[in-house]
Structure 1
Amino acid sequence: MKLRQAVVLFIDMAMLIIYVLVGIVTVVAGVKLHKMFRLFTLPQSWQFKELPIDELPSVSLCIPARNETHAMTECLERALSSTYPKLEIIVLDDGSRDDTSMLIKSFAHAGVRFVEGKPLPQDWLGKNYALHNLAREASGTFLLFADVDTRFKPQSISRIVDYTLREKVDMTSILPLRADGHRLSVLFATLRQFWSIVFHASTHPAVASNAWLVRRSVVIEKMNSLEEVRLAIRPEVLVAKHLSSTKSYRFLISSVLLGVSYEKKWSSQVETSLRLAFPLLGCSLLWSMLVAVGLACMVVPFAGMLTALLDQDMGLFGVSTLLVVAELVVYGYYLSHIWQRGWTAGLFLLPIILLQEASLVVISAYLYVRGRVTWKGRAIRNVTAR
């Protein structure tokens, strides 16, 4: 009898601690999100200027591609629709095993420049080496690095350049919106963008790898054509961190005004999360386990609400419901800012998303410890944390 009472007391105390922590984390995350969205989203009243052509800097849109036949055509069609008058489009085929190179070359008549990727040196990560070679091939005053799954509206590049010039900075990174409705890849999207926003700090600025505009002289001269970050799992973060020290970096969350969006398959999102999660946690097993457990704990109020309803425990039901509503409000606030439409459909999948994220953190740690992490078919080793 005493043992049973002790177990019940232990469970009650554990639930109390979990609920208190969940409440604190939810409130802090909500406050931080609100602050970051206000800070990083352009107001609707923002007025873009149209400079004379002779005053505009040239821009090289640099796109690394590896096995991207599913997305390449739309990517280049969108890029070619840009209204920016001084735009060079360069696509590097990074050793694709499908028809990516043929697709790129088919756009040569429209002005797309094809670059054949070089063999990967041992002391480079694949994508970083592709960016390095693109930077060396480009001729623009600014380089706009973008993934194949990034989508630009005709006015997007002009507006990114205008904002960068008016802010007098050397780099601007754009977090794209999801514009593709009720697809599984959207509904079950990972929380990578959420972490980037919530954990923004001057020492680790929020950066989106999907689209970042940077002055070419910074990349070539200060970062030695990105050789300084050749093993960084997210080279754009280190470039942004370097520029943040002199207040020469800006981060923006896309909006209807900017018109930058992306479409990414769920499997590709998972592969990206597995590649990034462990390094972003400092390659620490302890932090990985703590984060995974913390994410799992965020699901407890959902389970508690159902259990209390079945047991007719109105006290527990009330507290659990309060926490569930708070979590849904915060998640809904986040989704409403990064989805252009249909975000309410994904709102009630939050428990699944949290468990998915916890699993990805654990699996990422396991794969790195076992040396089994791959990216686009290449093994990843000796990475630089963050």
Structure 2
Amino acid sequence: MLLPLRDEAARVEPCLRALLALRGAPRLIVLDDGSTDGTADLVRAVCGDRVTLLTGGPLPAGWLGKPHACQQLADAAGDADLLVFLDADVVLRDDAVGAAAAVLEDAGVELLSPYPRITVGSTGERLVQPLLQWSWLTFLPLRAMERSPRPSLAAAGGQFLLVRRGAYDRAGGHAAVRDKVLEDIELARAVKRTGGRIALADGSGLATCRMYTSWREVVDGYSKSLWASFGSSAGAAAVVSLLLALYVALPLTVLAGQWWGAAGYLLGVAGRVVSARTTGGRAWPDALAHPVSVLLFAWLVARSFRRRGRVTWKGRPTWRP
């Protein structure tokens, strides 16, 4: 188990306690990446000598912080056959690692991303966060992604990610994605590019994750990375325009007496309900606000592109031009 941390003292304790309770007592390696909030002290207080606590090295030129931390953790894992990366906001069930490893083995893939159940609290989180898994389930052909060797057809979530050591090394590890803000997706592409297979899996029964705890965090988090989810600004404009046409403009035609426009609204609501029930999320009444969610997403995409290169995250840049 490999856990990179930077200024996570306020949220990491549930993650740590869940790791200590894992069945099989896997080796736990934690890297404190220059925290200034007492993260390392918290790890020592909660875990004692049951984890290997590393101090991260200086950030080299050309690297972003998360890939560098993950590469150091992978190096520290030595010849472990399976690398399991986890984020500080994820809480695992006690058998989560064994169950996920069994899925990876049964699927015959080299990289597996079990997406956790996303938990939300504030209104802003409830409006935006469910779009992540809704978009995967609605627009991404998951089975085709698994079968296709095309690196461009890849998805992954770094919150909970398993990768075979051999495939990781062939792909170049995190060094191959050293300057990528979405290092999880880029690592999946690198694995594909070097002949490996990848898969997403429903991990909602194995793990929970509250990525952000306020609207301010949602805005900052998506601003740093949403631009990188698209191949280009033109691609982003095309996707956002399609979403706005289907789920905002079409429903608004009802106001002009075009009742068939309600189909766009009902389509969005139904998709959100199916997605929520599939991934353990909250369906009602949140799904009813789907047009508002899409409008907020469009604004976040525009903001992310507008601020690209100027956003920092925990005191570090989020883009290497």
TM-score band by shorter chain is 0.7 to 0.9
Q: Does 1:238 align with 2:238?
A: no
**RMSD between superposed Cα atoms in Å:** 2.3
CA distance in 2, matches of 1:238, 1:181: 26
The answer to whether the 8 Å contact 1:84/1:157 transfers is no
- Find the counterpart in structure 1 of residue 248 from structure 2: 299
Which of 242, 261, 269 lines up with 1:328 in the alignment? Answer: 269
The answer to whether the 8 Å contact 2:227/2:305 transfers is yes
Q: How does 1:84-103 map to 2 (within 5 A)?
A: 84-85=24-25, 87-103=26-42
Q: CA deviation at 1:293?
A: 3.3
Q: How does 1:17-36 map to 2 (within 5 A)?
A: none
CA distance in 1, matches of 2:174, 2:18: 27
Query: Aligned in 2, Cα 1:321/1:169: closer, same or farther, shift over 3 Å?
Result: closer
Helix, strand or coil at the partner of 1:303: helix
Which of 319, 329, 339 lines up with 2:280 in the alignment? Answer: 339
Which of 312, 316, 321 lines up with 1:378 in the alignment? Answer: 316
Where does structure 2 lack aligned partners over 5 or more consecutive residues? none
Residue type matched to 1:149 in 2?
D
Count of aligned pairs between the two proteins: 306
Q: CA deviation at 1:182?
A: 5.5
Larger radius of gyration: 1
The answer to whether the 8 Å contact 2:64/2:317 transfers is no
CA distance in 1, matches of 2:10, 2:200: 29
TM-score normalized by structure 2? 0.86
- Find the counterpart in structure 2 of residue 145 from structure 1: 85
The answer to whether the 8 Å contact 1:291/1:358 transfers is no
Helix, strand or coil at the partner of 2:134: helix
Q: How does 1:18-167 map to 2 (within 5 A)?
A: 61-85=1-25, 87-109=26-48, 111-139=50-78, 140-167=80-107
The answer to whether the 8 Å contact 2:133/2:275 transfers is no
Helix, strand or coil at the partner of 1:88: coil
CA distance in 2, matches of 1:133, 1:226: 9
The answer to whether the 8 Å contact 1:94/1:118 transfers is yes
Helix, strand or coil at the partner of 2:3: strand
Which of 261, 277, 289 lines up with 2:237 in the alignment? Answer: 289
Which of 301, 304, 307 lines up with 1:367 in the alignment? Answer: 307
Q: How does 1:212-231 map to 2 (within 5 A)?
A: 212-219=161-168, 221-231=169-179
Q: CA deviation at 1:244?
A: 3.7
Query: Aligned in 2, Cα 1:64/1:196: closer, same or farther, shift over 3 Å?
Result: farther
CA distance in 2, matches of 1:261, 1:228: 29
Query: Aligned in 2, Cα 1:167/1:135: closer, same or farther, shift over 3 Å?
Result: same
Where does structure 1 lack aligned partners over 5 or more consecutive residues? 1-60
CA deviation profile, 1:158-177 (whole Å, cap 9, x unmatched): 11112223334322111111
Helix, strand or coil at the partner of 2:29: strand
Q: CA deviation at 1:111?
A: 0.4
CA distance in 1, matches of 2:268, 2:172: 44
Residue type matched to 1:208 in 2?
G
CA deviation profile, 1:119-162 (whole Å, cap 9, x unmatched): 11121011000001111111432111011111110111111112
TM-score normalized by structure 1? 0.73
Helix, strand or coil at the partner of 2:48: helix
Residue type matched to 1:364 in 2?
S
Query: Aligned in 2, Cα 1:239/1:264: closer, same or farther, shift over 3 Å?
Result: closer
Which of 244, 247, 251 lines up with 2:200 in the alignment? Answer: 251
CA deviation profile, 1:279-324 (whole Å, cap 9, x unmatched): 2222x3333333333333321234333x24xxxx3xx1x2122322
Q: CA deviation at 1:247?
A: 5.1
CA distance in 2, matches of 1:210, 1:323: 32
CA distance in 2, matches of 1:244, 1:273: 26
Query: Aligned in 2, Cα 1:291/1:133: closer, same or farther, shift over 3 Å?
Result: same
Helix, strand or coil at the partner of 2:94: coil
The answer to whether the 8 Å contact 1:171/1:214 transfers is yes
CA distance in 2, matches of 1:234, 1:248: 19
CA distance in 2, matches of 1:68, 1:181: 18
Residue type matched to 2:221 in 1?
T
- Which stretch of the first structure deviates more once superposed, 348-357 or 287-296? 287-296
Helix, strand or coil at the partner of 1:143: strand
Helix, strand or coil at the partner of 2:7: coil
Helix, strand or coil at the partner of 2:100: helix
Residue type matched to 1:289 in 2?
A
CA distance in 2, matches of 1:128, 1:224: 12
Helix, strand or coil at the partner of 1:107: helix
Residue type matched to 2:318 in 1?
I
